């Protein structure tokens, strides 16, 4: 698989053989922090491609926006990645080597991301890069990653339609979030009609396309589809349209500052989300966003994602405690932050499974790498470099947290090129 | 798109849509008034206008926090205090900026544009350092949320009404100040003939500073009002820049009435198009129409025809 | 210069029924007057009489509300400013407006009537003819010695002369001067009068001036304007003794 | 004004400035920097094209455009469309439902190449379009505005609005434009892989070469009568008009010239960076371009190059070591360049370095005559457009 690096070869990584089978065949390869404590293997064995690995350290890169408009969103990811690195170091590092990170600022500017990637790969020879947030930055970085054969661990839920041998996608691709969310609304809430609303760029548009196809398949109706420019702050007209169309569900993928305006204006227009008429299902409002919107404005909306801070499992309790200890009690943790936390861990497991830092060697062992201490519960890397993960539905409370009201029985298979949804 | 609706339903929707247009109108008026004063009366382009608005919004945020912690019983009324504070703080900063920067740049309007852009970058980063990069949530008293039920179907958002009332009162206040007060006469005298105004004993430097401060103060009130409907974050102010400038320029720079007329025209056009088209295309079309009209009629809607 | 005398009455400039209003205020109201070739005409009148506006209208700076301006048979009201200049009308402003960053030589060179289109200006070369013309004009305007000086360093009076020189080098048929001696010393004033006399040998000149002494020195005929209209017209003696003029100047 | 031989010109003060820049860009930087840093310098230089245009347009003629990013972007998109089509061969895109069209079109359910993409299969068309598209748009805007005497602040605001419109449009029409992600994953130019180090170094030198072509073009315009008219127009628009010039035509010309430079810069940017996206078109990007020009000295075309290099290098440097300080520094730069040193680097050079030079190398009498005019009262209303080192070109030699 690792050799299929051409663009044409991306798609046929193959669809998984189904959940059960994969579980059975791959469970055996799990190993957690046990083998790593063995004698530290010599550097020339584990690093044949000149990465920045010494006998006791290994360098990785963290590449997010610290400045500019995206800094708001990306800071959580930086914190999570640093936390994971710290924890890995405390537990003995990777192949006996302590992780050192080089942090670069993408400055919310896509060429800067590409430049910094080039710097990290060419000058610093980092063994892995944890970074990027927007699709645009990932798209800018991608050719560089492929050219210098780096490995990017990308945390954001995104639109799919991509499968690079040089990226591990630790967030969900669109179908994982959307299909489960819509199925839930239809089954549990009896939804029949949907109004699709998003900011005007690729992720909402692709997501709504998938949603629309899925709704069509279920024989239900989409009564409206609407996009507003990024940063738009006046939603009165669309609110009126929604009132006119009376959908059962508003399916919202509005992002950034627009979010704040949208929910405040919905509330002011007399829409009480707790009445669920219409029900609002979002794929873009994490706990992070609620802080800006204000919990009282979103009480009663539902979000469909893989992680909520309130998830009740021991992994998550430890994670939340560690995160708050590191960064303060008032921190909130959203879906992407958790996904960013997975990156360093998944890289560590892959390195240790491959017994090498070489990118080509770890690429061969990715499929099936598991992380059962993941805050979200359990994840596993699919052959297509995305993660198997569960999707949850949360209901927002005034305190800015979600109550998890539903989770999928089984792991959702990642399907970045969903047939029948394009 | 109107199949299957009763007439009364349609009427209600149109009523609410008309109201949506009006609240967009009041948002535009609030945004543009401060700028119109500064630009129209002084010829200064204040690119940091959006950041002054956000300063007002942060003031509201802090005031709300203060009331919640120390005077919870008075929380319902904190918003009025916040608006006054927002005005004072923004006006004070405006006066300072005028003294430090703007006064050296009169008659170089393009340079004020660049300098205030620099100021806006600094203010944004200052917000980021002080309040964090994330948007802050401003808590509002309960009475401000929710809607005013007119008929079964027609609901008017209270905060929309509130913004409208603020916009109209400030517009009226500015009108009285500029056209009915001694101070306003002085301002207009300085605008029309600075040397002559100085010769008759008007302290033109003082008038400039007050005018700039007033414009910034109004931006602060606008920012306070916008916490009800928009986001409060370090770079939220940028979202308003293009719209605000277009409203002012479209109205004809030296005419306050023009600013209001243009705010009305643009808001109605945009809100109507938004209803019938998708949001993005409505925005593009509105901007295109405004730019197109400005190309045909560069002096704006209401400019006086004067000897040039 | 060889003014094309094609108008029916052989006037170089025929202004008829000219009106312009600003928001209802008529700055120039149904004004008519005629200039013969080679004539020196001075327009006088109290402040706000509309004198400068008349010049603005002729040179196209202000567009007339109604009326016609015929110059050498051409209707000027429909032309753009630069076309009016090309048809032979030069205009000096009240405050000296020369290019302060450029030298005197360059100021005159820029005004040289060649290379006025974009491409022309790109291809323009300073050849012998240009230098000759510039030097000739510089001589006329008493600035031969200052050719290499930046215009910013000239005295107020010299700037006025330079601006007149910039018109002269265009070889216009009609020169319009707005208060050419305002703010000048007595000596400069005399020199300017001498300059104007030199110029008028082969130009038609329309001057706005307040200084009656100076007006008497140069004018062939005088037009007195008041509230946008012609109050009186004729020789200097004639208008001085016109009771209407006396009323306007002394009456209140 | 006219040097009889190129050799003589190179020995002149101005010639030495150009030689120094050439030395820096062609010899010193390539030797001192690794290919990675050199590529970054190449990227900075593409902004210098815009800055040179702004010197002509804003510095000389007083027309401040806050929408230069539009022209930069259009040039860049033209190039990117060509490269994207070349990268989207039916073989390379075999997995798409419609092979042979760019990937983002396929994701947006387009089943055929839109008509306006078709001509970009041709390299020669693309090369023409890189200049023609920005120039045509500039002409339309310029014609509409300048013939109606719209200038100054109004022009600035309207160009800014145009930048906003184009950004929203490109982001909204993602099926045709690639949306917010832009046009990415560009690989080869007429079969030549632009991603290798060797290619990037070559592109750097191409960029430097083009930059000098544009510098010479700008210098040519500046030193002809046209250049003087532009400056004159800025200070005394009416006097120029009543000297018989069609002021609007000159403004349109210089605006189009600036657009052409920006378009070339944008195309080179796409080649050097490897993609194009709407974020280089928008308001923020466009205003930043003005500061490159202002820092260099708004009247100096050479200064523009240094301005673009320095601001961008500082940006990279700051954001590597003190990311949170960068906006403060940038803001201070805007204010400082306006309040404290309106003539930018060129002005500082003129006032501090040149006198030193004068003392060190006793100037020969001939050049002394051409030395800058005696100090003028700087406090005047002037916007500080006096001392550009290049201006001494204007001194008449009266051959």
Query: pLDDT tens, B94-114?
Result: 999 999 998 888 878 888 888
- With pLDDT > 90 as the criterion, what percentage of chain D qualifies? 40
What pLDDT, on the 0 to 100 scale, is given for residue B83? 92
Choosing among D219, D244, D254, D378, which should be mutated to test the C contact, i.e. which has the most C CBs within 10 A?
D244
CA separation for the pair C192, C184 (Å, rounded): 9
Say which residue, B144 or A123, is predicted with more confidence: A123
When divided into structural domains, chain B yields a total of 1
Cα–Cα–Cα angle for D354, D288, C118, rounded to 5 degrees: 70
Q: How many CB atoms lie within 10 A of CB D12?
A: 16
Percentage of chain C beyond pLDDT 70 is: 95
| Residue D183 phi, psi dihedral angles, 5° rounding | -100, 110
Chain A interface, mutation test: which of D40, D99, D176, D275, most A Cβ atoms within 10 Å?
Answer: D275
Residue D385: which pLDDT band, with cuts at 50, 70 and 90?
Answer: very low
Q: Structural domains in chain C? A: 39-51+86-250 (3.40.50.300)
Mean pLDDT of chain D: 84
Torsion of CA B165, B168, B173, B174, to 10 degrees: 140
With CA atoms as reference, report the closest residue to D63 among D236, D256, D255: D255
Tell me what the mean pLDDT of segment C183-196 comes to: 83
The residue among D377 and A178 whose pLDDT is bigger is A178
- Residue B303: pLDDT band (50, 70, 90) is low
Q: Can you point out the beta strands (E) in chain B?
A: 147-149, 155-157
Partner-chain contact A107 D95, CB within 8 Å: no
Query: Quick count: other Cβ atoms within 10 Å of Cβ A274?
Result: 11
Q: How many Å apart are CA A140 and CA D210, to the nearest integer?
A: 25
| Of B19, B10, B39, B16, residue with least CA distance to B267 | B19
Q: Give the integer Cα–Cα distance in Å for C44 and C226.
A: 9
pLDDT at D381 > cutoff 70: no
Is the peptide bond between D214 and the residue preceding it cis, with omega within 30 degrees of 0? no
Tokens 């601006």 found at: C163
Retrieve residue D312's tokens: 């961008």
What's chain D's length in residues?
Answer: 399
Q: Are strands A193-199 and A167-169 parallel, antiparallel or unpaired?
A: unpaired
* pLDDT tens, position by position, A155-175: 999 988 889 999 999 999 989
Which of B163-172, B278-287, D12-21, D352-361 has the highest mean predicted lDDT (pLDDT)? B163-172
Q: Among the listed ranges A31-45, A176-190, D36-50, which one has the minimum average pLDDT value?
A: A31-45
Please report which confidence band the pLDDT of residue B203 belongs to, taking 50, 70 and 90 as the band edges: confident
Q: Is the pLDDT of residue A285 over 80?
A: yes
Residue C10's pLDDT band, with cuts at 50, 70 and 90, is: confident
CB neighbour class for D348 (10 Å; exposed up to 12, middle 13-18, buried from 19) = middle
The number of beta carbons lying within 10 Å of the beta carbon of residue D165 is: 21
Q: Tell me the pLDDT tens digit for each residue of D48-84.
A: 999 999 999 999 999 999 999 999 999 999 999 999 9
Q: What percentage of residues in chain A have a pLDDT greater than 90? A: 58
Shortest distance, CA D366 to any CA of chain C (angstroms): 14
Residue D384 gets which letter from DSSP? Answer: S
C5/C14 Cα distance (integer angstroms): 12
Measured between alpha carbons, how far apart are the two ends of chain A, in Å? Answer: 25
Query: Residue C221 above 80 pLDDT?
Result: yes
Q: pLDDT class for D15, splitting at 50, 70, 90?
A: confident
- One DSSP character per residue, B239-260 reads HHHHHHHHHHHHH-TT-HHHHH
Segment D160-214, tens digit of pLDDT? 999 999 998 898 888 899 888 889 888 888 889 888 888 989 999 999 999 999 9
What one-character DSSP code corresponds to residue A406?
E
Q: List the domain range (segments joined by +) for residue B212.
A: 20-240
CA distance A94 to chain D (A): 27
- B50 domain-assigned: yes
Inter-chain contacts counted by CB atoms under 8 A, chains C and D: 105
Nearest-angstrom CA–CA distance, B173 and B194 = 25
* Cβ atoms of residues D264 and D131 within 8 Å: yes
Q: For residue A147, what is the enclosing H or E element?
A: helix A135-147
> Structure tokens of B236?
């939220």
D128-164 burial code (b ≥16 CB/10 A, e <16) = ebbbbbbbebbeebbbbbbbbebbebbbbbbbbbbbb
Residue of B nearest to A238 (CA): B275
User: Do A413 and A382 contact (CB within 8 A), yes or no?
Assistant: yes
pLDDT above 70 (res D387): no
Q: Report the candidate in A226, A200, A230 with the shortest Cα–Cα distance to residue B273.
A: A226
Residue of chain B nearest A400, judged by CA positions? B137
Question: Do D251 and D63 touch, CB atoms closer than 8 A?
Answer: yes
Distance CA D145, CA D137 (A): 12
- CA–CA separation, C202 vs C205, rounded Å? 10
Instruction: Using pLDDT thresholds of 50, 70 and 90, give the confidence band for residue D252.
Output: very high
How long a stretch of residues is chain C? 252
Q: What are the tokens at B181?
A: 């007060």
In this prediction, residue A105 carries a pLDDT of: 86
Give yes or no for a contact between B76 and D351, defined as CB atoms under 8 angstroms apart.
no
* Three-state DSSP class for residue C2: coil
Buried b (16+ CB within 10 A) or exposed e, B133-156: bbbbbbbbeeeebbbeeeeebbbb
Tell me what pLDDT residue D10 has. Answer: 72
Would an 8 Å CB–CB cutoff place A232 in contact with chain D? no
> In chain C, what residues touch D221 (CB-CB under 8 Å)?
122
Domains of chain A: 7-172+312-389 (3.40.50.2300), 175-305+395-407 (3.40.50.2300)
Question: Which of B161-165, C140-144, D82-86, D155-159 ranks highest by mean pLDDT?
Answer: D82-86
Q: Estimate the share of chain A in helix, then strand, then coil, as percent rounded to the nearest 5.
A: 45, 20, 40
Within a domain: B59 = yes
Contact A257, A289 (CB under 8 A): no
Buried/exposed code over A31-70 (b: 16+ C-beta within 10 A; e: otherwise): eeeeebeeeeeebeebbeeebbbeeeebbbbbbbbbbbbb
Domain spans of chain D? 6-394
The pLDDT value recorded for residue A357 is 94
Task: Tell me which chains share at least 3 CB pairs under 8 Å with chain C.
Answer: B, D
Q: Give the C-alpha separation, A393 to A303, whole Å.
A: 6
Cα torsion through A74, A77, A78, A81, rounded to 10: -160
| Cα–Cα dist B245/A60, whole Å | 46
C-alpha dihedral sign at D331, D336, D338, D343: negative
- Alpha-carbon C74 to chain mean position: 18
Cβ neighbours of residue D280 under 8 Å, at least 6 residues apart? D69, D72, D73, D76, D266, D269
Other residues' Cβ atoms within 10 Å of the Cβ of residue D39? 22
Backbone angles phi, psi at A363, to 5 degrees: -60, -35
CB contact under 8 A, D323 and A66: yes
Please give the residue of chain C at the shortest CA–CA distance from D224.
C122
- 8-state DSSP, C33: E
Give, as one character, the DSSP assignment of residue A300: T
**pLDDT range class, residue C251, cuts 50, 70, 90:** low
Nearest chain A CA: its distance from B211 CA (Å): 29
Q: Which two tokens stand for residue C48?
A: 């706000």
Q: Is D149's Cβ below 8 Å from some Cβ in C?
A: no
**DSSP track, D125-154:** HHHHHHHHHHHHHHHHHHHHHHTTT--HHH
Q: Is D225 on the interface with C (CB under 8 A)?
A: yes
- Range list of H helices, A303-387: 314-327, 335-354, 359-365
Chains C and A touch (3+ CB pairs under 8 A): no
Q: Is residue B37 scored above 90 in pLDDT?
A: no
Could you give the CA distance from residue A357 to residue A362 in angstroms, rounded to a whole number?
7
What is the ipTM metric for this complex? 0.83
For B125, the token pair is: 């980063």
Across residues C65-81, what is the average pLDDT?
88
Gap from D122 CA to chain B (nearest CA, Å): 31
Answer with the residue of higher pLDDT: D186 or A88.
A88
H or E, element range at B224:
helix B204-226
Neighbors of chain A with 3 or more C-beta pairs under 8 Å: B, D
Tokens matching residue A388: 């198997």
Beta bridge partners of A221: A193
Lowest mean pLDDT among A208-222, C135-149, D3-17, D156-170: D3-17
pLDDT at A32: 41
For residue B192, the distance in angstroms to the closest alpha carbon of chain A comes to: 37
What are the tens digits of pLDDT across the range B124-138?
A: 989 988 988 777 878
Alpha carbons within 13 angstroms on the beta-carbon side of residue B207 total 23
CA distance C250 to chain D (A): 36
Report in angstroms the alpha-carbon separations of C234 from B264, C210, C217, C219, C230.
Answer: 56, 16, 15, 10, 11
CB atoms within 10 A of CB D317: 12
Decide: helix, strand or coil at residue C8.
coil
The β-bridge partners of A97 are A94
DSSP letter for A119, please.
I
D197 Cα distance to chain centroid: 25
Q: Does a structural domain hold residue B144? A: yes
- Tell me the chain B residues in contact with residue D383 when contact means C-beta distances shorter than 8 Å: 108, 111
CA dist., res. D289 & res. D315, Å (int): 13
CA–CA gap between residue D39 and residue B188 (Å, rounded): 55
């Amino acid at each position: 698989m690792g050799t299929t690096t051409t663009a044409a070869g991306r798609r046929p990584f193959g669809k998984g053989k189904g959940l059960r089978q994969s579980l059975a065949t791959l469970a055996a390869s799990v190993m957690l922090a046990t083998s790593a404590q063995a004698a530290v293997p010599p550097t020339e064995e584990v690093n044949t491609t000149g990465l920045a690995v010494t006998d006791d350290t290994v360098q990785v890169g963290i590449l997010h926006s610290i400045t500019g408009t995206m800094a708001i969103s990306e800071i959580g990811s930086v914190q999570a990645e640093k936390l994971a690195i710290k924890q890995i170091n405390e537990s003995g590092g990777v192949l006996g080597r302590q992780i050192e990170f080089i942090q670069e600022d993408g400055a919310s500017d896509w060429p800067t991301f590409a430049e910094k990637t080039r710097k990290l790969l060419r000058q610093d020879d980092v063994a892995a890069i944890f970074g990027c947030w927007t699709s645009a930055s990932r798209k800018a970085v991608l050719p560089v990653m492929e050219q210098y054969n780096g490995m990017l661990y990308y945390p954001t839920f995104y639109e799919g339609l991509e499968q690079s041998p040089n990226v591990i996608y630790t967030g969900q691709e669109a179908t994982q979030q959307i299909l489960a969310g819509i199925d839930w609304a239809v089954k549990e809430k009896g939804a029949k009609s949907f109004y699709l609303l998003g900011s005007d760029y690729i992720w909402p548009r692709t997501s709504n396309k998938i949603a629309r196809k899925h709704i069509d398949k279920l024989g239900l109706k989409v009564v409206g589809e609407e996009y507003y420019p990024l940063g738009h702050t006046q939603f009165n007209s669309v609110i009126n349209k929604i009132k006119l169309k009376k959908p059962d569900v508003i399916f919202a993928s509005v992002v950034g500052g627009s979010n704040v305006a949208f929910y405040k204006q919905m509330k002011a227009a007399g829409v009480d989300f707790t009445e669920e008429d219409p029900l609002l299902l979002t794929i873009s409002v994490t706990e992070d966003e609620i802080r800006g919107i204000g919990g009282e404005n979103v009480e009663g909306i539902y979000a469909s994602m893989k992680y909520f801070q309130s998830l009740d499992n021991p992994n998550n309790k430890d994670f939340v405690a560690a995160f708050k200890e590191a960064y303060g009690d008032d921190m909130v943790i959203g879906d992407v932050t958790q996904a960013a936390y997975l990156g360093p861990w998944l890289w560590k497991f892959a390195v240790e499974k491959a017994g090498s830092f070489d990118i080509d060697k770890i690429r061969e062992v990715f499929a099936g790498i598991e992380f059962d201490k993941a805050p979200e519960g359990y994840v596993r890397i699919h052959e297509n470099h995305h993660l198997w993960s569960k999707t949850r539905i949360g209901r927002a409370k005034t305190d800015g947290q979600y109550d998890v009201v539903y989770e999928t029985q089984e792991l959702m298979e990642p399907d970045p090129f969903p047939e029948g949804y394009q | 798109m109107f199949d299957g609706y009763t007439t009364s339903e349609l009427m209600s929707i149109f009523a609410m849509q008309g109201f949506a247009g009006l609240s967009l109108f009041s948002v535009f008026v609030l945004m543009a008034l401060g700028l119109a004063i500064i630009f129209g009366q002084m010829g200064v382009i204040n690119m940091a206008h959006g950041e002054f608005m956000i300063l007002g919004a942060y003031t509201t945020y802090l005031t709300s926090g203060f009331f919640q912690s120390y005077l919870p019983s008075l929380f319902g009324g904190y918003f009025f205090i916040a608006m006054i504070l927002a005005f004072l703080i923004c006006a004070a900063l405006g006066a300072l900026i005028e003294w430090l920067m703007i006064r050296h740049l009169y008659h170089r309007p393009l340079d004020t544009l660049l300098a205030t852009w620099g100021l806006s970058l600094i203010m944004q980063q200052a917000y980021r350092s002080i309040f964090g990069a994330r948007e802050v949530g401003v808590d509002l008293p309960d009475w401000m949320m929710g809607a005013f039920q007119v008929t079964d179907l027609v609901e008017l958002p209270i905060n929309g009404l509130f913004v409208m009332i603020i916009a109209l009162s400030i517009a009226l206040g500015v009108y009285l100040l500029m056209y009915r007060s001694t101070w306003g006469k002085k301002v207009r005298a300085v605008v029309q003939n600075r040397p002559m105004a100085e010769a008759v004993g008007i302290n033109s430097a003082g008038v400039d500073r007050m005018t700039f401060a007033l414009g910034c103060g109004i931006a602060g009130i606008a920012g306070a009002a916008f916490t009800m409907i928009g986001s409060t974050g370090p770079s939220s102010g940028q979202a308003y820049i293009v719209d605000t400038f277009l409203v002012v320029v479209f109205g004809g720079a030296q005419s306050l009435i023009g600013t209001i007329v243009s705010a009305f025209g643009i808001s109605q056009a945009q809100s109507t198009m938004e209803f019938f088209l998708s949001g993005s295309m409505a925005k593009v079309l509105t901007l295109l129409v405004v730019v197109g009209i400005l190309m045909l009629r560069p002096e704006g809607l209401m400019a006086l025809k004067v000897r040039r | 210069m060889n003014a094309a005398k094609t108008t029916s009455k052989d006037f170089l400039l025929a202004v008829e029924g000219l009106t312009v209003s600003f928001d209802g205020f008529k700055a120039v109201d149904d004004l008519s007057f005629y200039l013969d070739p080679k004539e020196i005409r001075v327009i006088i009148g109290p402040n706000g009489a509309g004198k400068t506006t008349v010049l603005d209208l002729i040179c196209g700076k202000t567009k007339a509300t109604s009326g016609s301006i015929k110059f050498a048979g051409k209707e000027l009201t429909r032309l753009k400013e630069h076309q009016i200049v090309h048809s032979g009308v030069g205009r000096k402003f009240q405050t000296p407006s020369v290019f302060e960053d450029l030298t005197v030589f360059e100021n005159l060179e820029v005004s040289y009537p060649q290379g006025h289109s974009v491409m022309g200006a790109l291809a323009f070369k300073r050849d012998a003819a240009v230098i000759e013309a510039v030097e000739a004009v510089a001589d006329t305007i008493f600035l031969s010695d200052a050719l290499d000086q930046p215009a910013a360093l000239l005295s107020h009076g010299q700037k006025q002369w330079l601006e007149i020189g910039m018109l002269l080098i265009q070889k216009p048929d009609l020169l319009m001067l707005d208060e050419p001696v305002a703010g000048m010393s007595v000596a400069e004033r005399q020199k300017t009068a001498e300059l104007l006399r030199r110029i008028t040998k082969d130009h038609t000149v329309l001057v706005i001036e307040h200084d009656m002494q100076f007006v008497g020195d140069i004018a062939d005929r005088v037009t007195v304007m008041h509230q946008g209209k012609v109050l009186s017209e004729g020789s200097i003696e004639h208008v001085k003794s016109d009771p209407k003029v006396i009323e306007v100047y002394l009456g209140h | 004004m006219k040097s009889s031989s190129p050799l003589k010109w190179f020995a002149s003060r101005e010639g030495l400035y150009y030689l120094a820049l050439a030395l820096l860009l062609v010899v010193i930087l390539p030797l001192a920097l690794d290919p990675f840093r050199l590529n970054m310098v190449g990227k900075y230089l593409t902004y210098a094209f815009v800055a040179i245009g702004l010197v002509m347009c804003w510095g000389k003629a007083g027309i401040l455009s806050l929408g230069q990013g539009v022209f930069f972007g259009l040039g860049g998109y033209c190039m990117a469309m060509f490269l994207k089509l070349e990268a989207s061969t039916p073989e390379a895109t075999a997995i798409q439902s419609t092979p042979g069209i760019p990937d983002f079109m396929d994701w947006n359910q387009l089943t055929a190449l839109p008509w306006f993409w078709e001509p970009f299969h041709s390299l020669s068309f693309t090369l023409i379009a890189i200049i023609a598209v920005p120039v045509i748009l500039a002409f339309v805007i310029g014609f509409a505005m300048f013939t109606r005497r719209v200038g100054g602040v109004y022009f600035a605001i309207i160009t800014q609005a145009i930048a906003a419109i184009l950004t929203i449009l490109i982001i909204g029409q993602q099926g045709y434009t690639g949306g917010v992600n832009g046009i990415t994953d560009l690989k080869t130019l007429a079969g030549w892989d632009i991603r290798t180090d060797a290619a990037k170094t070559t592109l750097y030198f191409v960029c430097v070469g083009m930059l000098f072509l544009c510098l010479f073009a700008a210098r040519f315009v500046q030193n002809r009568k046209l250049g003087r008219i532009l400056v004159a127009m800025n200070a005394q628009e009416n006097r120029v008009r009543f000297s018989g010039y069609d002021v609007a035509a000159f403004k349109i010309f210089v605006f189009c010239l600036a657009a052409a430079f920006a378009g070339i810069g944008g195309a080179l940017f796409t080649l050097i960076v490897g993609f194009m996206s709407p974020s280089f078109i928008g308001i923020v990007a466009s205003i930043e371009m003005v500061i490159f020009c202002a820092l260099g000295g708004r009247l100096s075309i050479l200064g523009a190059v240094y301005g673009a290099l320095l601001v961008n290098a500082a940006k990279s440097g700051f954001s590597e070591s003190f990311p949170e300080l960068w906006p403060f520094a940038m803001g201070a730069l805007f204010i400082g360049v306006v309040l404290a040193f309106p003539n930018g680097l060129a002005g500082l050079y003129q006032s501090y370095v040149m006198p030193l030079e004068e003392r060190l190398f006793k100037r020969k009498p001939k050049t002394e005559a051409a030395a800058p005019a005696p100090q003028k009262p700087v406090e005047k209303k002037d916007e500080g457009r006096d001392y550009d080192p290049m201006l001494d070109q204007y001194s008449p030699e009266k051959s």
